[in-house]
Amino acid sequence: MRAVSVHRDALVLTSLLWQTNAVALRAGGEAMLIDSPYYPEELEALPELLTGAGFEPDALIATHGDFDHLLGRVAFPGLALGLGEPTVERFHREPGSAQRELRDYDARLYVERSGPLSLGQVQTLPVPGSVELGDRELELHHASGHTSDGMAIFARWCGVLCVGDYLSRLEIPWISKGGSLEEYRATLARLAPLTEAAETVVPGHGAPHGGDVTRRLLEEDLEYLEALERGEERPRLPEGRDSSFQRRIHSENVTRV
């Protein structure tokens, strides 16, 4: 796991698997962890790492309900997990789905855990809306399309925007089960002005970025969605994202659009 400071009040932790990002934020003597790393060893090391860096969390929050973003509860079983209203609704429609998918991927990767994932105490958050962190406020913005749920989290005081599984240099737009091309496009439109106000954009997977890189990713993703809507079987994928796996994602997208 790699830890990089992007602001005195923001630490990005990147898992060895899928370059999955977790973000620790602090303000007014409190701290919060957004999303999570994946491997058990990373989760075991997380409390000591964050405490040593001055980011011992008082609460957890997840950008959406995909299993690889929910594992903060494993590292901090005593903390409440904040979920946006759309994610809570998703879990009511699909009870146990995150736990089953985690078990499936752990089996593929030969990962052993001490026990099953338990979401424990859940705090439902309004989206759009806000949540307090110390003497500051985190903005919560609707971000569906990749899945049926999702929210972007903007810590405006430090310029850090956590977008979940959008605007990644590693992945093309991925319309997962329950997702929607129309909603994905609407989310990119909502994110555009937020990215202009942000210093650092942290995607769910891959290195944080800002400025010119973010604008380029937005343009590339919109162009890809247009090609997807036209039904192109082999569209031109963005540089750095034209791999066999991303082609598989495109094929999956075609079947869902």
CB atoms within 10 A of CB 247: 15
The 3-state DSSP class for residue 133 equals: strand
Distance CA 253, CA 249 (A): 6
Q: How many residues does the chain have?
A: 257
pLDDT of residue 257: 83
pLDDT of residue 120: 87
CA distance to 61, 80, 160, 164, 195, per residue, from 7 (Å): 19, 25, 8, 19, 16
pLDDT of residue 26: 98
CA distance to 41, 102, 173, 195, 252, per residue, from 249 (Å): 29, 19, 9, 25, 5
2-256 domain in CATH 3.60.15.10? yes
Q: How is residue 145 annotated by DSSP? A: S
User: Which are the contacts of 156, defined by CB distance < 8 A and separation ≥ 6?
Assistant: 137, 139, 197
**pTM of the model as a whole:** 0.95
The 3-state DSSP class for residue 55 equals: coil
Burial class (CB in 10 A: 0-12, 13-18, 19+), 199: middle
In which residue ranges of the chain is pLDDT below 70?
Answer: none
